[in-house]
Each structure stands twice: as structure tokens, then as C-alpha cells.
């Protein structure tokens, strides 16, 4: 590994930066749990998780580090559920004149308040936890490199296996969601690779190409994220329909129709950008491992 790329010094600095970001965003969230701060704490946890997953086994099993991560992930999960409530609520606003709107809105509000109360408790417990510290001397260079490459290879393999499944069957909602998560994880890992200029490279891959990979992953995430929002709303509407099936059927129909269009956007994007050739971004990433 080049001395200028993913050095223990750089990695330790990124770990420290990500922990400080968690502390800042956690504090903001405790003060005001609005949509912006919910988004920011979730993103901060994702970035920290990318560095944590890249740590050698001994450090991942360190009690202080693992407990801090477990609490962070618990906070992430609760805020993901809160975000789902917000997304569904936004989608329902266009139906505010419908008889069912107030009933659905009240149900979402109660669900959100319950999750938010739990989320704030976890945020407070995270604030009170001893912050983990990773020193450059704690990171064996060879083990860090091996672990980082192994995690990248696993994610690439998972994405390669998932893509044919989700692109040939729009009903694979779980697989679509897992693909989205894998793309995010891979993107945050690639963002850990430092660069001094556009000609720098990692494992023979030019940084311009790495940047292009990150952009492609972001684009895929965005489409998958929109599909996931539809799936979340569809699931909610199916759960609450019950005796009110007729009253929510048109809302459900609209969400399903919108989801179908976004799924087609995904298929077309992948046809344009992920054709099977030597410049395929997944193949380039795979070579990095």
C-alpha cells in the first residue's frame, strides 16, 4: 500500500473526526430533534460505522469501542423509524382533504412520538458514554490494509449478487433495501481513501475513477432511497387499511404507481451505467481488494 494512501495516521485521524462528528450531531439532536438533526445523526453514525468495520478484529472487540458503536447503531435504528414516519407523513399531506387523513396522521404522530422518546434516551446515554480513542500506534498497518480490502471485497460481491436479482424482479423489496445499504457502506469506505491530487491512485485505480465510483454509488442510492420511501408508505398503508381498505385504496394505488416508475428509472440507470465491460465500476473496485 502506498505510504500516502490509507496510512494508519490518516485512518486514526478519520476515526477521531467521525467520533467528534457523532458527539456534535448527538448534542444537536438532544437540543432539537428536528428532521435536519435526525438526518445528520444518522449520517454521522454511518460514517463512523465505515471506519469501525475497517478496524482489525482486536479493536472491533474492544469493550469501549464496541459498546459505543452498539449505542450509536441503536440510535440510528430508532431515528430511521422516526424518519419513516416523517416520509409517510409528507406523502400523505397531498391527501389532507381525504376523510382518512386525520386518522392516519394521528397514528403516525403517536408512533413518531414513541420512537422519539426512545431515541432521545439513547442519545443521552450515548453522550454519557466514554468516547473511544484510536491511536495510530494501535493500528497494525498490514492488518488494517487486509481488513479494509476484505470489507470492500465482501460489499462488492454482495452488490454483484444483488443487482441481477433486483433488476429482474421489482417485488424483491428486502433485496432492494439491502442493496441500498451495501451501496452506502461501500461509498463511505471509498471516501476513506485519501487523495492528494487527481492523479493519485489506490491499488492501481486512479482517484478520478474512485470519485466516479462514489458518484455512481450516490446516484444508485438516491433512486433506491426513493423506492424504499414508497415501499415504507405502501407497507404502512397495507397495515392500517383493515376495515378502511376502500378509503386508502386510491392512496395505495398512487404509491404503487409511483414506485413502479422509480423502479423503471433504476433499471434504465443501471443499463446505461453498469454495462458489462472493462470499465465497469464494480470490476474496478474488485481489483482494489
pLDDT at residue 93, as a whole number: 94
CB 69 within 8 A of CB 49: yes
Residue 253: exposure state from Cβ atoms within 10 A (0-12, 13-18, ≥19): exposed
Same domain, residue pair 173 and 275? yes
Same domain, residue pair 146 and 178? yes
pLDDT at residue 4, as a whole number: 42
Residue 254: exposure state from Cβ atoms within 10 A (0-12, 13-18, ≥19): middle
Domain span at residue 181 reads 140-289
pLDDT in tens, 38-60: 999 999 999 999 999 999 999 99
Same domain, residue pair 104 and 186? no
Same domain, residue pair 148 and 17? no
Same domain, residue pair 51 and 189? no
pLDDT at residue 209, as a whole number: 78
Other beta carbons within 10 angstroms of residue 247's beta carbon come to: 15
pLDDT at residue 1, as a whole number: 38
Please state the pTM of the whole predicted model: 0.89
In 3D space, the residue among 203, 221, 190, 222 whose CA is nearest the CA of residue 50 turns out to be 190
pLDDT at residue 36, as a whole number: 96
pLDDT at residue 2, as a whole number: 40
The segments of the chain whose pLDDT lies below 50 read: 1-4, 278-279
Label residue 37 left, alpha or beta by phi (over 0 means left) and psi (-120 to 50 means alpha): alpha
Q: Which H/E stretch holds residue 48?
A: helix 35-53
Q: Locate 46 and state its grid cell.
A: 454511518
pLDDT at residue 286, as a whole number: 55
Same domain, residue pair 176 and 101? no
User: What would the DSSP string read from start to end of 185-211?
Assistant: HHHHHHTTS--SSTT-EETTEEHHHHH
What is the tally of structural domains in the chain?
2
Q: How far is CA 17 from the centre of its chain?
A: 19
Same domain, residue pair 113 and 189? no
Amino acid at each position: 500500500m502506498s505510504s500516502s494512501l490509507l496510512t494508519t495516521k490518516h485512518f486514526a485521524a478519520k476515526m477521531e473526526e467521525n467520533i467528534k462528528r457523532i458527539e456534535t450531531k448527538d448534542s444537536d439532536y438532544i437540543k432539537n430533534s428536528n428532521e435536519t438533526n435526525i438526518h445528520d445523526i444518522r449520517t454521522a453514525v454511518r460514517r463512523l460505522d465505515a471506519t469501525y468495520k475497517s478496524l482489525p478484529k482486536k479493536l472491533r472487540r474492544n469493550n469501549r469501542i464496541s459498546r459505543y458503536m452498539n449505542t450509536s447503531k441503536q440510535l440510528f435504528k430508532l431515528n430511521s423509524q422516526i424518519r419513516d414516519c416523517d416520509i409517510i407523513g409528507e406523502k400523505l399531506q397531498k391527501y389532507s382533504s381525504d376523510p382518512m387523513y386525520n386518522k392516519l396522521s394521528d397514528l403516525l404522530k403517536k408512533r413518531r412520538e414513541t420512537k422519539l422518546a426512545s431515541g432521545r434516551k439513547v442519545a443521552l446515554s450515548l453522550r454519557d458514554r466514554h468516547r473511544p480513542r484510536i491511536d495510530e500506534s494501535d493500528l497494525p498497518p498490514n492488518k488494517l490494509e487486509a481488513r479494509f480490502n476484505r470489507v470492500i471485497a465482501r460489499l462488492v460481491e454482495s452488490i454483484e449478487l444483488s443487482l441481477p436479482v433486483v433488476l429482474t424482479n421489482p417485488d424483491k423489496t428486502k433485496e432492494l433495501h439491502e442493496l441500498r445499504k451495501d451501496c452506502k457502506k461501500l461509498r463511505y469506505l471509498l471516501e476513506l481513501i485519501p487523495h492528494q491530487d487527481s492523479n493519485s491512485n489506490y491499488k492501481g485505480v486512479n482517484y478520478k475513477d474512485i470519485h466516479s465510483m462514489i458518484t455512481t454509488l450516490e446516484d444508485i442510492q438516491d433512486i433506491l432511497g426513493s423506492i424504499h420511501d414508497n415501499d415504507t408508505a405502501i407497507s404502512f398503508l397495507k397495515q392500517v387499511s383493515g376495515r378502511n381498505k376502500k378509503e386508502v385504496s386510491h392512496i395505495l394505488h398512487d404509491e404503487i404507481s409511483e414506485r413502479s416508475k422509480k423502479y423503471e428509472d433504476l433499471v434504465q440507470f443501471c443499463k446505461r451505467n453498469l454495462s458489462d465491460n472493462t470499465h465497469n465500476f464494480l470490476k474496478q473496485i474488485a481489483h482494489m481488494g
